[in-house]
Structure 1
């Protein structure tokens, strides 16, 4: 792990069990709403042990990172660019899941000279949140957590490479979301994150500004961000490719190897 001072606040980054070395090629992993760095555990550790520098970040106001949680995709993208500055990294690959994918997209559009690859996992644009779910995330977050878990998973138990045999996806995900929600007693990061996704309106313009290769990793059974909801965005990508895997919205846990291999091949080919 390492802590960086970003915009005056301590920011936690998981480095995959290896010391950070700014001279190595770097990949930044960005989590989605009510998640933290741990959702990238397999992918971040693999890259850290295969010649890459890894920064799997907790977004501000989430778990181990201080500061106010970003209230918009644009604000979160500025945070990612400030994170690169704090780490002394000139260029990096960005991999984002769900909300994190929009953050990565916006960061790549704002500073195209600093982003070598853009991987958007479990993404959609627009990333509309249903009014019922948006309201529940504010008024009854525990019920909203149950709803999200129902919509996000397409299987009960994951492959062994996720967290080991016997892992219960629904229970593990619910526990993580409750822990992230409880980590910030001042701000409801659930509602703030969902609203940021729902309000983001710059996706197609941002993609038009992206200069690097783009990878879309989509779950065939994803109910939160179904593959068809990415078509307009993918059409705007200058150098885009799409990989579909047998998973719901929780791609990194339901199809851990497939997501890893897609990222590995994509980042290595353009390295």
Structure 2
């Protein structure tokens, strides 16, 4: 789906189905140096099972134009503008890594819009090491290699990965490299700095009144499950789903993530309260 947000072209993948705002809506927000395609194994299933799916490319990522936004708050405002343009009044907001912070902030800014929240590969505060921040600024290719190694568990490597002939690590690395080619203006550094600088997560989590699903990778070393205690302890209505994966759980444990999102969505009150 193509639209215009803040005067610039914006793109959101709809899972192979025409977007219908009358259906229960699910918004899938990608992480740093990624685009909508990281949700490929979940978005199509959800779109073909009764949901209106929006998997946007954030500005400066993929097919959405403009410079990358420099703060989580600005990204949340952009998501709200996208949903208004699409006619969405209530939705399940799901986000991965940086996208989880964006989903959280969006729900805090518009609580009436959030039927539920799914936070995948999340933590707060989402601090980025000085070394990685500097490498992202000075040598983006090296930063991509570093993150690609850290983001994947051993099950992502052949021969243990269940998809013969398919390299999860290779696909993730090529996607990040493609983002660099499309937007050479220190995209990775901008994304990491936004994660590093976000200070509103605890207050946003405490203010939530909707159901929250935490999807955490047992082998995640980027955002280890133990680091989520501040968030999981702050929300009122939280559930934890542990999957056998690293940080790139949508690819490494695609079935478990898909089934978890679908089961969570099936229980949500998508209709607005009278």
**Normalising to structure 2: TM-score of the pair?**
0.95
> 1:206 maps to which residue?
204
> 1:131 maps to which residue?
130
CA contact (8 A) 1:141 1:190 kept: yes
CA–CA distance in structure 1, aligned partners of residues 15 and 134 of structure 2: 36
1:228 aligns with 2:226: yes
How far off is 1:159 after superposition?
A: 5.1
1:69 aligns with 2:68: yes
Q: Which runs of 5+ in 1 are unaligned?
A: none
> 2:95 maps to which residue?
96
- 1:172 is paired with a residue whose SS is helix
CA contact (8 A) 1:214 1:240 kept: yes
CA–CA distance in structure 2, aligned partners of residues 24 and 63 of structure 1: 26
> 1:250 maps to which residue?
248
CA–CA distance in structure 2, aligned partners of residues 37 and 261 of structure 1: 19
How far off is 1:209 after superposition?
A: 1.6
- 1:241 is paired with a residue whose SS is strand
1:19 aligns with 2:18: yes
Runs of 4+ in 1 over 6 A off after TM superposition: none
* Range with greater deviation from structure 2 (96-105 or 20-29): 20-29
1:85 aligns with 2:104: no
> 2:175 maps to which residue?
176
* Range with greater deviation from structure 2 (151-160 or 75-84): 151-160
User: CA-to-partner distance for each residue in 1:237-265, whole Å, 9 max, x for gaps?
Assistant: 11100011110000001100011111111
CA contact (8 A) 1:16 1:46 kept: yes
How far off is 1:165 after superposition?
A: 2.8
CA–CA distance in structure 2, aligned partners of residues 255 and 135 of structure 1: 31
> 2:157 maps to which residue?
156
CA–CA distance in structure 1, aligned partners of residues 2 and 164 of structure 2: 32
CA–CA distance in structure 1, aligned partners of residues 71 and 227 of structure 2: 20
- 1:12 is paired with a residue whose SS is strand
CA–CA distance in structure 2, aligned partners of residues 93 and 51 of structure 1: 13
Name which of 182, 192, 195 aligns with 1:194: 192
CA–CA distance in structure 2, aligned partners of residues 101 and 131 of structure 1: 22
- 1:247 is paired with a residue whose SS is coil
- 1:218 is paired with a residue whose SS is strand
Backbone CA RMSD of aligned residues = 1.1
How far off is 1:68 after superposition?
A: 2.1
CA–CA distance in structure 1, aligned partners of residues 251 and 169 of structure 2: 11
CA contact (8 A) 1:137 1:144 kept: yes
> 2:272 maps to which residue?
none
- 2:28 is paired with a residue whose SS is strand
CA contact (8 A) 1:109 1:209 kept: yes
User: CA-to-partner distance for each residue in 1:73-96, whole Å, 9 max, x for gaps?
Assistant: 000000111111110111111110
CA–CA distance in structure 1, aligned partners of residues 67 and 136 of structure 2: 18
CA contact (8 A) 1:44 1:54 kept: yes
How far off is 1:22 after superposition?
A: 1.0
Q: Which runs of 5+ in 2 are unaligned?
A: 270-274
User: CA-to-partner distance for each residue in 1:197-237, whole Å, 9 max, x for gaps?
Assistant: 01111110011122210000000110100001111111111
> 1:117 maps to which residue?
116
